[in-house]
Amino acid sequence: MPEPRLATPADAAEIARLRSENILSEPLDEAWLTKCADQLALRLQDGGDARAYVIDSPAGGLASCALGLVHAVLPAPKYPQGLAVRIHAVATDPTHRRRGYAKAALAALLDHLEHNGVTLYELYASEGSAPLYEQLGFAADPALMRMTRFPSAVEGNAS
């Protein structure tokens, strides 16, 4: 199996593509893919809040990625450093599935984050992906319910 590697800003477009094609309920159009890739490239730079591990495809591009967004939270006994990550995307191109790529990329990301002081890890899981996350130490929290809110004035191309 190819080794996962730390993503660079040059990987942003491929990470955005994998997220769009494999995670989002409605894939992004070219304009939104470009917007996401441009923002992610900035966030993957040194000092940015994004961290990702990727596995290269032998055919070019990426076979798999695991992306986390790091943010500060108020500390508590279970996360004393006050540094958290939301796992934003774990995706594998369909032609590379069932080879352990997602698990390898996510395990490398979690290891990297732990060595950099992150003590709280959060993600949203589908039924199909939950077993992978459970293998890596994630557990459901019955006290939490995912809720979302979007301001009513949000426009498709608002800044």
Spatial neighbors of 89 by CB under 8 A, at least 6 apart, are 15, 18, 19, 23, 65, 66, 67
**Collapsed DSSP state (helix, strand, coil) of residue 7:** coil
Q: Please give the structure tokens belonging to residue 83.
A: 């540094």
Closest to 63 measured CA to CA, from 92, 27, 24, 21: 92
Q: pLDDT category, 111, cuts 50, 70, 90?
A: very high
Q: What is the pLDDT of residues 80-105, one digit of tens each?
A: 999 999 999 999 999 999 999 999 99
What is the distance between the alpha carbons of residues 113 and 135, in angstroms, rounded to a whole number?
Answer: 17
What is the distance between the alpha carbons of residues 3 and 100, in angstroms, rounded to a whole number?
Answer: 11
Closest to 136 measured CA to CA, from 159, 117, 113, 156: 113
Share of the chain above pLDDT 70, in %: 96
**Collapsed DSSP state (helix, strand, coil) of residue 114:** helix
What is the distance between the alpha carbons of residues 69 and 15, in angstroms, rounded to a whole number?
Answer: 13
Q: What is the pLDDT of residues 141-154, one digit of tens each?
A: 877 777 778 788 65
Q: pLDDT category, 140, cuts 50, 70, 90?
A: confident
Q: What is the mean pLDDT of residues 34-38?
A: 98
- CB contact burial 79-116 (16+ within 10 A = b; e otherwise): eeeebbbebbbbbbbeebeeeebbbbbbbbbbebbeee
pLDDT the model gives residue 127: 82
Averaged pLDDT score across all residues of the chain: 92
pLDDT the model gives residue 131: 87
Q: pLDDT category, 155, cuts 50, 70, 90?
A: low
